[in-house]
Structure 1
């Protein structure tokens, strides 16, 4: 049995509670309210709702390039670099990124893995010795589902993904798809596929938002990557008013997969509260993939992040939730428990 003490951000509302979290056999046994001398902040570890870890072989290679030039299939710089990378280098690069993610508080990510079954296997190999559990959205034909946890489609304008959608339904695994990143033309076709997750939705309009609400489709947004690629800003407030919204960091080639940076950027650029942003970075991502983490509550898996509330950066903050979202960095991390 293990105990973590300090200010605990409890439940879906992240209510700051002085006391301790008691962990037994990897699960939260109970939360005890009590005075404690600890200045630590205990919160759910992050779930990064959208990554492309294969891009780890091409960090910063796409500076100054458009969306199509940088990442669009099949001939972008990203896809050329992936095709040229040998397997050991690819696995090593993804493993180093996963280690960075762990060090900065992330215990799981929803990764769109290119290169079919071979790509999914490479990510499994990269993650094996690292305490980050990727939820793998595979690509290619439906046989990738023998290896992956679900299917991740590039976009409805890039091809017909009907067979992959049907295969996901038969296997009862999630189907996710990019939509509305460069423009809105692929949003309705994406929604016609009845996806379990939409990614980006930068150009979502009122009619799209209504359909998202009617179909109860969660959305993963990646504001920093959208800014780097100059495609616009997602309507985060409107999306939150219609559905579950999770936060992702997108392509490793564009930005480091730091949820601290993504939270701070989102909190300062959009009409959202700190609690909403923290929920996007934890609970929402976990719910999108059916993961048993993302909230501190009895019976839940103990995937927890401990920050030093008395660090040079966090000491003296008036609101621990705002401090976590807007101010904290990887340097404040004392431990990640998973």
Structure 2
């Protein structure tokens, strides 16, 4: 397979005119050459933090606090999940996965509530979809054992030391929420030496130094943090110190659109368009150990093609900036997963 157009090549997303050659699902060449195509070729997105279970209750809980919305075990989300049938949850998650796939998302890192049953439900929801879910089980070691790792709610909700050790012994991914409500749980989360942290809205100087020294990646969810009134993460400072990826968080609160998350982040923070695009692609892939997120030789060919001749994109002068701040699902021409 060959794709032609303007290619956002490599980690810097340098726009080059040419073709991408794909053989057996792997990018074998990125060639500069003249082409008549107006297509824009870029890596498919990696949504680095999702809670897909609450797809059953979009826009529920307006006006509730963060704890009342999502805190285990009795936040609104958890009560709604307990009340819903397995079939309802699987069907709702399937719809969200289908939407993400159509919008150019190749993979998500899913914090999956419900223990073993919760992991089983998302496996059902993935049936028939090409999108990949890196599933982090929650609540029990058994859930971690049948998933791709463990997603902890936060150090204030338990020590998690035994589960951290079990996850490490299994060679799996361990992520934990930290600094979403305030700074009180950040040191305890860092003490667990997680593979990544989520949110980090309220880090203090010591926490930033620890993150930099330990090189722990951070997943930020700016739209979600504003919806829940958690605040705004110091995105520029985080990017200067470690790998930062983007996630859309709870479907209850926000659509799982990486286009919307990129645009919001780019207009909110003092970061370049290329930095934001890295957050939405290769940085999340690196956290999850996935061999995609870039258009370069040897990477898995998880690719997104935008129609550069739509009314929205025709005439853009800075292609990377346009992808990050202007493009949307209506501009998607093809998604190769």
Q: CA deviation at 1:297?
A: 0.7
* 1:73-112 pair list within 5 angstroms: 73-112=72-111
Which residue matches 2:187? 188
SS of equivalent to 1:275: helix
Which residue matches 2:334? 335
Which residue matches 1:45? 44
Q: Does 1:21 align with 2:17?
A: no
Runs (5+) with no aligned partner, structure 2: none
Aligned length: 337
* 1:224-303 pair list within 5 angstroms: 224-303=223-302
* 1:137-152 pair list within 5 angstroms: 137-152=136-151
Runs (5+) with no aligned partner, structure 1: none
Q: CA deviation at 1:159?
A: 1.1
Answer with 323-332 or 166-175: which moved more.
166-175
* 1:49-60 pair list within 5 angstroms: 49-60=48-59
Q: CA deviation at 1:145?
A: 2.2
Which residue matches 1:113? 112
SS of equivalent to 1:184: coil
Provide the C-alpha distance between the structure 1 equivalents of 2:265 and 2:144, rounded to a whole number of angstroms.
33
Q: CA deviation at 1:103?
A: 0.8
Q: Deviations over 1:36-93 (max 9, x none)?
A: 0000000000000000000101110022211011111111110000000100010000
SS of equivalent to 2:92: helix
Provide the C-alpha distance between the structure 1 equivalents of 2:100 and 2:220, rounded to a whole number of angstroms.
18
Which residue matches 1:8? 7
Kindly report the root-mean-square deviation, in angstroms, between the aligned alpha carbons of the 2 structures.
Answer: 0.6
Provide the C-alpha distance between the structure 1 equivalents of 2:102 and 2:149, rounded to a whole number of angstroms.
26
User: Which aligned segments of 4 or more residues in structure 1 are displaced greater than 2 angstroms?
Assistant: none
Which residue matches 1:65? 64
Q: Deviations over 1:268-323 (max 9, x none)?
A: 01000000000000010000000011011111100000000000100000011000
* TM-score of the two chains, using structure 1 as the length reference: 0.99
Q: CA deviation at 1:197?
A: 0.7
Which residue matches 1:207? 206
Answer with 270-279 or 119-128: which moved more.
119-128
Q: CA deviation at 1:146?
A: 2.4
Provide the C-alpha distance between the structure 2 equivalents of 1:290 and 1:225, rounded to a whole number of angstroms.
25
SS of equivalent to 2:210: helix
* TM-score of the two chains, using structure 2 as the length reference: 0.99
Provide the C-alpha distance between the structure 2 equivalents of 1:218 and 1:334, rounded to a whole number of angstroms.
32
Provide the C-alpha distance between the structure 2 equivalents of 1:3 and 1:35, rounded to a whole number of angstroms.
14
Answer with 244-253 or 119-128: which moved more.
119-128
Provide the C-alpha distance between the structure 2 equivalents of 1:175 and 1:46, rounded to a whole number of angstroms.
21
Provide the C-alpha distance between the structure 2 equivalents of 1:46 and 1:315, rounded to a whole number of angstroms.
22
Provide the C-alpha distance between the structure 2 equivalents of 1:281 and 1:270, rounded to a whole number of angstroms.
15
Answer with 139-148 or 311-320: which moved more.
139-148
